[in-house]
Chains A and B, each alone.
Chain A
Amino acid sequence: MPTFDVTIQGKTYHVEIPDPGASPLQVIVDGEPFVVGIVGTESGLRPPAVPVAPQPAPQPTVLPAMPRVAVTRPVVPAGAKGDGEIRAPMPGTILSVDVQIGQAVEAGQVVCILEAMKMKNPIRATHAGVVADIAVQPGQAVAYGALLVRLE
């Protein structure tokens, strides 16, 4: 497994890449898994696995003359959904978003439909609240643990 020690803005991160050929790429930064999508290359060559700044950095820091990289979302263990965050229980595609920002929802109400393995899965609010943020739109592919909707 390729491993790197990357220093970004004075802080050193330990980066592991279990499978450099996988797409989307999974990288493990200081033990925390991230899903990385590679957007484009400037050289036309197959891009090397590029270490990216993990969450503490304000935005994905890109090393010069390297492919642009988008960090989708840190993979969060299911069940660790504090702060009214509703996260994707598995990878899939958002079919529809059934709530609007500002809308009050009850526990158990469907907030969006996630299609996985050609099956429509209703994603429901775990508790009552008001929709503060919608992080996805219909047609969007989401990784496991991606933020879908935040309730307040």
Chain B
Amino acid sequence: MLIGLEMLTAMSWANAVMLAVGGLLIYLAIVKEYEPVLLIPIGVGAILANIPGAGMGLDLRAITTGQHVEAVLLPLYRAGIETELFPLLLFIGIGALTDFGPLLSNPRMVLVGAAGQFGIFLVLLLALATGRFTLNEAASIGIIGAIDGPTSIFVASQLAPHLLAPIAVAAYTYMSLVPIIQPPIMRLLTTRRERGVRMPYTARVVSRRERILFPIIVTLLTGLIAPQASPLIGFLMFGNLLRESGVVDRLARAAGSELANITTIFLGITIGATMVGESFANAQTLIILILGILAFAVDTAAGVLFGKLLYLLTRGKFNPLIGAAGISAFPMAARVVNKIGLEEDFDNFLLMHAMGANAAGQVASVVAGGIVLALMMR
């Protein structure tokens, strides 16, 4: 009883808010099944970090200004997030799980993936316009729009490590909200007729040689265009080569399950533990969350508008909904496109086209992250 009282008196309002936020994330994960793999570790981390006296919280403001911090998870933070190792390890697993076949059989989808990154740069400008953020901070916030958790962490940990917690939480929470945020924007910007454009499956067979050369060529090309993206693209494509080589199934399986799962646990709980008291529960976090969702909405809108342009250029043979899949949230965005397409015409399956655009968005968001890093670190 005495101990319980001690906890209550040591608890600030901010801790209380963050305990509730942790509970909300766990609720969304379990009841709504929104990205439970990430939201449960993050939610638990947030709860542990806000128990007064438990010594679990990672106050990023204190850590990044060089103050002495003691916390159980500090070694994980230093080893995996400060060094950017966790997002990179996670990318090996994502690469091993991603089938770039739909993109290879329909390479023009690369354009859709590029269009889906527009919001990053618009929100960068918007964040600067608020006058509350430096250029580096604004760039890190813009990256949220790509809905690419690992890339957001990678960029923020270099440009604005003190903002890592809200940026990572925004990227991962919005990833889970793809089926809620995207459909209204897609419906608003398209006519029934555009949504009903039929696009039959393209049966072009992708050869094994193409599948093997793809990760190698993309790695080298990225190295030329945006070398700052090379660590992310290189690890993503390494994982993909494990998958497509066909001779190291053991490694591909380990990367896609054990490595990705263990990294997700470490990354999730460490990010969760950074959501500590006043350094998270403040107006700045709220503004970052709002700008982040705006970046996501603009990315989606830019993708759909680009899809409408393709609709015009192809004289009505391209379904603009596919543009919305040009973001990184793979394969959620492609599924949403397929679902909205089926609502209009139950016999019109856009899934494979959308998967191509989605795979392109996956690569494009990483390259966009690299370009942002290149511009900022000049």
Contacts and interface: CB of A to CB of B under 8 A. Distances in A.
A45 interface: no
Interface in A123-152: 124, 126, 144-145
Contact of B346 (A91, A124, A145): A124
Q: Interface majority SS on A: helix, strand, loop or mixed?
A: loop
Contact of B349 (A26, A75, A89): A89
Contacts of A91: 201
B200 A22 contact: no
B331 A78 contact: no
A117 interface: yes
A66 B201 CA distance: 33
Contacts, number: 60
B200 A117 contact: no
Contacts of A145: 203
A21 B206 CA distance: 11
A144 B201 CA distance: 8
B331 A117 contact: yes
A90 interface: yes
Contact of B207 (A22, A78, A108, A144): A22
A108 B343 CA distance: 12
A22 B205 contact: yes
Interface string B182-198: 00000000000000001
Contact of A108 (B203, B209, B335, B346): B346
25 contacts: A18-B205, A18-B207, A19-B208, A21-B208, A21-B209, A22-B208, A77-B200, A78-B198, A78-B201, A79-B200, A89-B200, A90-B349, A90-B351, A117-B335, A117-B352, A117-B355, A118-B331, A119-B335, A119-B338, A121-B351, A122-B342, A122-B346, A124-B347, A144-B201, A145-B203
Pairs A-B, 7 closest by C-beta atoms: A78-B200, A19-B207, A89-B349, A90-B201, A26-B205, A124-B346, A21-B208
